[in-house]
Amino acid sequence: MLDLELLRRFVAVVDTRSFTIAARELRISQPALSQGIARLERELGCRLVERNRRDPSTGVLVTAAGATLLPEALALIAAAERAEARTRRAASSPRRQVITIGFSPGTPPALLDAALTSGADGIEVVAVQLAWGREHEALVDGSADLALLQYPLGAELPQCVLRELARVDRVALLPVDHPLAARPEVRLADLAGEPILDPGFEDGPVGFRELWLGLPRPEAAPIGRVVGPPKATVDEMYAFVAAHRGMAITTAAVPDVYQRGDVVARRIVDLDAVALGLGLLAGDRRAGVLRTASAMVERITAQGG
């Protein structure tokens, strides 16, 4: 690996056209400079300058190799100084580090509260609401450092790490005047053929679309028509159901927070629960992000247990 200090000496020699003068400028002895250039030349396996003591007006000349190296050396030195300055600045910067946590519309507020207060020593956690099912995308494209998301039990997200924080049952959102609304809970068989809100996720990770369609269904109780387009907010989802366009499947956490007189939620007893967890990029090595994630997991699992 090239030694930037030697490159700097090489530049000095070329600039001054003299080992003696360059050595004086560099505050080292002339022999040390000679040896330094020799060291660089030895590493590169070629001569960089032609020592020309005949003509003091001409001085030291640059070889073809030296002429090639010179601009690169200047660029490298400048880049190194920039890198050093930036690193120093990043370290001493008084501004707090900001970590963004994305969450989907159905996220329980308690979870979000806990997440927002998990920022430690100089770290501020900012929440960003994502569209349904955009959590993975947000992590990958960097628009969120962390994400609170719902996912099928045991599911994996490519390039991501998932830490399960809680589980919630799935519920069916139904119009209040729907025959099934009278029951305390429902089964998939009851929902056979019911039109259902399109959850989107066609291009998302495997299993996510099926989660909100309640698939797979028993053979005797097939899924009804899937009615699109997908909704971006909880509000839209409820409006869809209230308008008798169809039912929707969501988590029990949603009706805890959001209520409407014309829509009821009924637990679907024969569907698995949904995992509610924290996602982050598998390759993320940032101390602030990882520590915040740990703090969130610790805090939420503690309060949950």
Partner DNA sequence: TAAAAATACTCCATAGGTATTTTAT
Partner DNA sequence: ATAAAATACCTATGGAGTATTTTTA
What does the binding site for a second copy look like in residue numbers (CB under 8 A)?
1-5, 8, 14, 17, 44-48, 50, 52, 58, 60-69, 72-73, 75-77, 79-80, 82-84, 86-93, 97, 285-288, 290-291, 294
Rounded Cα distance between 11 and 22, Å, is 9
Give the binding range for DNA (CB under 7 A) out of 31-39, 143-151, 182-190, 194-202.
Answer: 31-39
Q: Which of 2, 15, 31, 287 binds DNA (CB under 7 A)?
A: 31
Q: Which of 53, 86, 96, 225 binds DNA (CB under 7 A)?
A: 53
Tokens standing for residue 291: 């520590």
Binds 245: which of DNA, a second copy, none (CB < 5-8 Å by kind): none
Q: Please tell me whether residue 89 binds DNA under the rule CB under 7 A.
A: no
Site string (188-227) toward DNA, x via CB under 7 A = ----------------------------------------
Phi, psi (degrees; rounded to nearest 5) at 208 = -75, -40
Binds 36: which of a second copy, DNA, none (CB < 5-8 Å by kind): DNA
Nearer to a second copy, 40 or 263 (CB): 40
Provide CB contacts within 8 A for 264, sequence distance 6+: 173, 174, 175, 176, 178, 181, 255
Q: Which of 7, 37, 48, 293 binds DNA (CB under 7 A)?
A: 37
Phi-psi region of 268 (alpha: psi -120 to 50; beta: other; left: phi over 0): beta
Rounded Cα distance between 34 and 151, Å, is 66
Q: Please tell me whether residue 55 binds DNA under the rule CB under 7 A.
A: yes
Tokens standing for residue 114: 């806990």
Rounded Cα distance between 248 and 159, Å, is 30
In sequence order, what DSSP letters do the residues of 157-185 get, joined into one string? -TTEEEEEEEEE-EEEEEETTSGGGGSSE
Nearer to a second copy, 20 or 63 (CB): 63
Question: In terms of Cα–Cα distance, which of 161, 166, 164, 190 is closest to 178?
Answer: 190
In the complex, the residues that contact DNA under the rule CB under 7 A are 5, 18-21, 27-32, 34-39, 51-56, 59-60
